Amino acid sequence: MSQILDAYRGLKLRDRMSGAPGWVRKVGMLLVIAFAFYLPFLNILPFAYIRTDLTSSGSDWASVLFLVVVYMIVAVGLNVVIGFAGLLDLGYVGFYALGAYSVALFGSPSSPVVEAIQNRFGLDETWAVPFVMCIPIAIVMALIAGVTLGAPTLRLRGDYLAIVTLGFGEIIRITARNLDNVTNGATGISGVPVPPGPEIDGRSFFNTIDAERWYWLALSILILIIFLAFRLEHSRVGRAWLAIREDEDAAAIMGVAAFKFKLWAFAIGASVGGIAGLLFGSKQQYVEPNAFMVNLSFLFVAMVVIGGSGNIYGVLLGAFLLTYLPERFREFQEWRPFAFGVALVVVMILRPQGLVPSRRRAREFEDRKVEAEEAAADA
C-alpha cells in the first residue's frame, strides 16, 4: 500500500516538474528563492502560523531560519558523502566543528592562536586574521581533515567505516576540550569575527540582533552550494560515485579508481561541513566544544536518511523538518525527543528510502531486496 502511494505521490510532482518547459521551471525556481528570502518577514495569516515566535517562550524566527539553512548546507554536504558516494559518515560533526573552530582560532583577537601570533610579530592586541581570510582557512582545514581521515579509512567498507568516522567526530570535540592552551578548552573562544559590512544604526551589519541578515547570507551560500552539488552529481565524478555506490567491484572493473573518488567525496563533503560550521560559529560569535556533541552527527545523518539519501531536494526537506519542527513545538519540551524517535521509526518502516527518495536509490533498494529474497530462498 505504502509503495503504491509512493509511486503516486513521489513521482507525480517530479514528472510534472520535469515535463514543464524550461522557462516555467526557471520562473518557479525564482519564485521559491524570492519567497525564501522573504520568509523572515512573513506575517500574513494563516501562513504566519509557521513562525516560531508566536508565544513568548518561542525562539526568534529569523534565528531559527538561519539554523535551518545552516543545517541544510550540512545536509547537502553530507549527502555528497552518504547519498552520492554511499559512504556512511557518522562523524560529520567533526568537520562542522573544525569550520567553527577555524574562524574562532584565527579570527578572534582573544584566541590563544591569535595571541601567540600577536606576541611573535609584536602586533596590536586587537589584531586578528580578517574574516574573509578565515573562510579559505576553514575550508582548507576541513578539507585536510577529510583527506587525513579518509586516506587510511576509506579502504574499509560499510559498518567499519561508520565506526571509525564516529570516533573521528568525538576526537575533534575531545581535543578541542582538552587542548587548553590552543582552544581555551571547555571555556571556549569568544569574540569570533563576523563578516564585514556597512554599519547601520551604530551596529555592524552582521550583529546578534538582526538575525535575518545572517539568514540571507546563509541562504545565498546555500543556493550556491546546491547549484554546485547539482553540477557535481551530473559530472564525470558524479557518475563514478554512482557506480561505486551501486557496485564497487564492478566500478573498479570498469576503470573507476574507486579509492580516489571516495576520497574526493570525503574531502568535498568535509569542506561543505566546514563552511556550515564557520557560519554557525560566526553568528554565535562564541565557540565551545559542547556545541559539537556526537548526537549532532546522528541528527545530520537522520536529516539525509529521512529526507531521501541521494536526492538534494529530499535532504533539504529532511534538514528543514528536523530543525524546524522541534523549534516550532518548543512548548512540548520533553516530548520532542520521543516524537523524534517515533517519527524516525515510522519513516524507516514506511519509507526506508526517505521522504523524497532519489529514483536510483529507490531502485537500488528494490534490487537489494530481491537479492536478499533470492539468497533467503537459496538457503
Partner 1 sequence: MLLEMKDAVLSYGKIEALHGISLEVAEGEIVALIGANGAGKTSTMRGLSGVRGLASGSVVFDGEDVTKLRADQRLRKGLVLCPEGRGIFPGMTVTENLNMGAYTRKDKEAIEQDYERVFGLFPRLLERKKQVAGTMSGGEQQMLAIGRALMSRPKLLMLDEPSMGLAPMLIQQIFDIISEIAQQGTTILVVEQNAKQALSRADRAYVLETGHIVKSGTGVELLDDPTVREAYLGVA
Per-residue cell: 289: 566544544
> Is 371 a binder of partner 1 (CB under 8 A)?
yes
Which residues does 348 contact at the CB level (< 8 Å), separation at least 6?
Answer: 305
Concatenated DSSP letters for 149-211?
HHHHHTTS-THHHHHHHHHHHHHHHHHHHH-HHHH-GGG-EE---------BTTB-SS-SS-H
Residue 372 C-beta: closest distance to partner 1, Å: 12
Indicate the SS3 state at residue 243.
helix
> Is 7 a binder of partner 1 (CB under 8 A)?
no
Task: Scan residues 42-61 and list those touching partner 1 (CB under 8 A).
Answer: none
> Is 256 a binder of partner 1 (CB under 8 A)?
yes
Give the range of 109-117, 186-194, 318-326, 363-371 binding partner 1 by CB under 8 A.
Answer: 363-371
Of these, 15, 125, 247, 331, which contacts partner 1 (CB under 8 A)?
A: 247
Residue 370 C-beta: closest distance to partner 1, Å: 8
> Is 254 a binder of partner 1 (CB under 8 A)?
yes
Cα distances from 101 to residues 64, 131, 172, 196, 208, in angstroms, run 22, 13, 10, 19, 19
Residue with cell 590552543: 182
Residue 365 C-beta: closest distance to partner 1, Å: 9
DSSP state of 353: T
Instruction: Output the CA torsion sign for 340, 346, 349, 355.
Output: negative
> Is 356 a binder of partner 1 (CB under 8 A)?
no
Q: Which is nearer to partner 1, 125 or 247 (CB)?
A: 247
> Is 82 a binder of partner 1 (CB under 8 A)?
no
Task: Scan residues 216-245 and list those touching partner 1 (CB under 8 A).
Answer: 239-240, 242-243
Give the range of 11-19, 100-108, 249-257, 342-350 binding partner 1 by CB under 8 A.
Answer: 249-257
> Is 373 a binder of partner 1 (CB under 8 A)?
no
Q: Which is nearer to partner 1, 367 or 373 (CB)?
A: 367
Q: Which is nearer to partner 1, 180 or 366 (CB)?
A: 366
Per-residue cell: 65: 531560519
139, 274 Cβ separation under 8 angstroms: yes
Phi, psi of 303 (to 5 degrees): -60, -45
Q: Which is nearer to partner 1, 202 or 255 (CB)?
A: 255
Phi, psi of 237 (to 5 degrees): -65, -45
74, 303 Cβ separation under 8 angstroms: yes
> Is 378 a binder of partner 1 (CB under 8 A)?
no
> Is 303 a binder of partner 1 (CB under 8 A)?
no
Of these, 75, 251, 296, 315, which contacts partner 1 (CB under 8 A)?
A: 251
DSSP H or E stretch at residue 336: helix 335-350
142, 95 Cβ separation under 8 angstroms: yes
Residue 272 C-beta: closest distance to partner 1, Å: 24
222, 72 Cβ separation under 8 angstroms: yes
> Is 87 a binder of partner 1 (CB under 8 A)?
no
Per-residue cell: 192: 569570533
> Is 364 a binder of partner 1 (CB under 8 A)?
yes
Which residues does 354 contact at the CB level (< 8 Å), separation at least 6?
Answer: 305, 306, 307, 308, 309, 311, 314, 318, 347, 361
Binding mask 148-187 for partner 1 (x = CB under 8 A): ----------------------------------------
In the complex, the residues that contact partner 1 under the rule CB under 8 A are: 239-240, 242-243, 246-247, 249-258, 360-361, 363-364, 366-367, 370-371
